[in-house]
A and B are shown apart, each in its own frame.
Chain A
Amino acid sequence: MQHPEDTGLPTESEANPTPLVSQESIARIEALDRPGEAAVLVEILDLFLDSARDRLPRLVRALEHGDLEAALVEAHGLKGSAGTVGAQSLAAACSLLEQEARRGTLPDGAPRALRQLWRDTELALIRIQARAARGTS
């Protein structure tokens, strides 16, 4: 098992309390690999990226239209799967949005921030996935 520090990924400095992607979570998923079988991480990240690419535009649309109920559902769903793959910043942002939506308020500028955060997260995950795919082939 790799130590999180050795990954050569874009760093999330200590200044940032929630890292973009938790290396610990990634390592735990990698630990599920079984010899001779496709990397679990590659499959899981595929699933996550696919579902997030569906969900994120829905969430953004809900935020833009002030649709509280839809925003709540989408934010909650994205929070769950992001947390599962260790995309912690995204999960934290969704959690925040979920709470806001529950209170009946949606912060201005959320859509833009969310899009930015998603681009970073997506990139980080794609890199991790590519490395995992190389590692097993």
Chain B
Amino acid sequence: MIGRAFEDLRLSGSLPTPAGVGMRILELTRTEDYSAEEMAEVLRSDPSLTSRILKLANSADRGGVEPCTSVQDALMRLGGRTVRDLALAFSLVSARRGDTCPGFDYEQYWGRSLARAVAAQALAARMGHSRPQEAYVCGLLAEIGALALASVHPRTYGSLLMEHRGVDRAKLRAAEQQAFDIDHVQAAACLFSDWGLPEHLGLALLDAFGGSETQDAAATTLARVLKAADCLAEGMSAPRSREPREWQATLAALGELAATLGLDEAAFAVLFDGSSRAWVGWGRLLGIPTADPRGLEQLRRWSQRVTPQRESAAGGPHSRRAAATQDEPSEGAQETGRAPIQEVSERFRILVVDDDPVSLRLASHLLSADGYEVLEARGGQEGLRMALEHAPDIVLSDLAMPEMDGFELCRALRQTELGSRMFIVLVTAHEEDETIVRAFDAEADDFIVKPYLPRVLCARVRGGIRATRLQRKVALDRQKLEAQKAELGRLNRKLQIASLTDPLTGLPNRRHAMNRLQQCWAASPEQPQALSLAMLDVDHFKRVNDEHGHDVGDLVLVEVARTLAAQQQGRGEVCRLGGEEFVVVLPGITEARAAELAEEWCRAIEASVARAAGLPRPLTVSIGIASRRVDTLDSDQLLKAADHALYAAKAGGRNRVVVDGWDVLRRSA
């Protein structure tokens, strides 16, 4: 069931997928025989990803160990497997684009996820889990299922989230089940296994947040870490302006956690405050907005504060958003606002990179005067960081800069998914052909020779804007297409299900029954005995229809179907062949056992159906059984044998089970 629902999500084509290098790593590691060198090669092509992995490798260091300085170091220290999982997780973070689900707060989502990751890393060792990086990955991606649902069903999931704001997670999961046949924790576990993350990670998720306990020892420990990390993350990331009683609840949960960890107040405060600071540092590195670092002491003050009655005390979606803005004055995100999917946003952001403050400010003034949002970076390194953090549409970079020059910056940006979409203009002081060729070799889009005339710069930038606009339109069109494709995929799936389902009883229909029989036949060539077939017919059904009307007849069929299905307990699959005829395919069941079971069904139907359908007389069925024998030629012959047995049961006086259809078949032949 979950498998099928997940297949549905996958069909949409809009599940979160790792970007760029993450995807390459995923492909590389699908086979078992990749070398560390190959992996290092792929990783090196994305400097920002590399720096993130190094930071994580080093932040786990305790005492005396030399910090990792290269991809190889990290591979040695952490192992290929862990580096791979990290690369995957980080590239999922940078793949976040196209925020299309109206009720889903993407920034808050990633902020909270990052807080959980950092907390999980800090808690892992304390709680007896030996792999802090694994805990980090798992914490970062624990709620990825929610992101998946938001991407695949933006509208439905958006309104579902609005409706269920503030309810506990179990209720939200129940609502997701109802709407999508899969909840966000199950979806995350499916994605985990899709991406080849170790199995116990998915099990830990299901245990910690999905209400299904695991027996796996590693998963159990990790689940405990995740639950604790989530509690810590709430304290770190919840908006400051929440109600005091909400803070009181959070503090109580944190107090319990401290007791579980066996930490006194001071030691726990060190853990909390440290995690909060680490979270803010990571946020800067990954371009995820975070709150200011906070300490337990602050939480305590907030929980005691007397707030004036606010209109928004109920905490509707708008008030929360407003509160978050007030709490976290991060630039950019809030101030520009999220453009709705239907519109191509017309605000363009330009990053100017120059080590010379004169040129930097002048270009900045020039472009601001033309109405662009301008960011300034005083060197290549800072430029790279800011470009990845603020995702400008256009980068205008000087060539000659110490440490990282314009060529290097351009090449580094082009290695990243985000940077490959930017329009990059290099500013050079030489008009030599060689420089210009090198600029284009570094994959710059354009160049300009300085000192330049303001109008020339503005004209060049407008060229970039044209390209950006076109690109945005293409992206938008693609988004629309993807949405249509997803819709079509879902429709197809529904049609397919409908074409295999009997609308009255909801059971699979004849076509499905034949497919299933064929499958079972093909699956057990060496164990031919282990396939039985029961064909069932309602006795005197015509009389029911004549005496009580067709609606009662229908009711009888529904009741028979339900009773029969309830009797299966996973043994056989019940299908309606048509009219009052049903078939049960019983793989792995011998003839003798099938006969026993059929007797039970007869009794169950006789006991309940007539009463449920309001009939005065008891209602019975006849059943014919056939099992595969060595000399059975094909599934058709098996079907025919069961049919003959059923005929014999009818002829023998109904309300009975006849097993040996073969004799009848022989006699009639």
Contacts and interface: CB of A to CB of B under 8 A. Distances in A.
B362 A80 contact: no
B454 interface: yes
B356 interface: yes
Contacts of A31: 454
Contact of A85 (B358, B398, B402): B358
A76 B287 CA distance: 34
Given A32-B366, A32-B369, A34-B369, A80 B361 contact: no
A79 B362 contact: no
Given A34-B369, A40-B365, A48 B454 contact: no
Contacts of B618: none
Contacts of B451: 25, 80, 83-84, 91
A28 B362 CA distance: 10
A83 B450 CA distance: 8
Contacts of B454: 28, 31-32
B357 interface: yes
B359 A84 contact: yes
B42 interface: no
A20 B621 CA distance: 110
Contact of A81 (B358, B366, B369): B358
B400 A84 contact: no
B371 to A, nearest CB: 12
Interface residues of A, number: 23
A43 interface: yes
A79 to B, nearest CB: 7
B453 interface: yes
B331 to A, nearest CB: 20
A85 to B, nearest CB: 6
Nearest to B453: A28
A77 B450 CA distance: 12
Contact of B400 (A25, A48, A50, A77): A77
Which of B357, B359, B361, B402 gathers the greatest number of chain A CB atoms within 10 Å?
Answer: B359
A51 B358 CA distance: 8
A51 B362 contact: no
B357 A51 contact: yes
Interface string B393-427: 00000101010000000000000000000000000
A44 interface: yes
A114 interface: no
Interface string B358-377: 11011001100100000000
B373 to A, nearest CB: 16
Contacts of B497: none
A5 B230 CA distance: 71
A117 interface: no
Nearest to B370: A32
Given A28-B454, A76-B400, A84 B358 contact: yes
A93 interface: no
A80 B356 contact: yes
A60 interface: no
B362 A84 contact: yes
B607 interface: no
A47 interface: yes
Nearest to A22: B451
Main secondary structure of the interface of A (DSSP, over half): helix
Given A76-B400, A83-B450, A84-B450, A44 B356 contact: no
Nearest to A95: B429
Contacts of B453: 28
A73 B356 CA distance: 12
Contacts of B362: 29, 40, 44, 84-85
Nearest to A72: B400
Contacts of B429: 76, 79-80, 83
A44 B361 contact: yes
A28 B369 CA distance: 12
A79 B454 CA distance: 18
Contacts of B361: 43-44, 47
Interface string A66-96: 0000000100110111011100000100000
Contacts of B450: 80, 83-84
A40 B364 CA distance: 11
B365 A48 contact: no
A54 to B, nearest CB: 10
A76 to B, nearest CB: 6
A95 B398 CA distance: 17
Contact of A44 (B358, B398, B402): B358
A34 B355 CA distance: 25
A62 B286 CA distance: 41
Which of B366, B450, B451 gathers the greatest number of chain A CB atoms within 10 Å?
Answer: B451
A43 B398 CA distance: 20
A47 B357 contact: yes
A34 B365 CA distance: 10
Contacts of A29: 362
Nearest to A76: B400
A43 B361 CA distance: 9
Contact of A48 (B355, B358, B366, B402): B358
A11 B358 CA distance: 25
Contacts of A81: 356, 358-359
Contacts of B356: 51, 77, 80-81, 84
A79 B453 CA distance: 16
A80 B450 CA distance: 7
Contacts of B369: 32, 34
A76 B429 CA distance: 8
Interface in B219-246: none
A103 to B, nearest CB: 15
Which of B358, B361, B402, B450 gathers the greatest number of chain A CB atoms within 10 Å?
Answer: B358
Contacts of A51: 356-358
Nearest to A85: B358
B366 A80 contact: no
A47 B400 CA distance: 19
A108 to B, nearest CB: 26
Contacts of A25: 451
Nearest to B356: A81
Nearest to B359: A84
Contacts of A77: 355-356, 400
Given A47-B358, A73-B402, 5 more contacts: A51-B356, A77-B356, A80-B398, A83-B451, A85-B362
9 contacts: A32-B369, A43-B361, A44-B358, A47-B358, A80-B359, A80-B398, A80-B451, A81-B358, A83-B451
Q: Top 7 closest A-B pairs, CB basis?
A: A83-B451, A81-B358, A48-B358, A47-B357, A32-B365, A81-B356, A47-B358
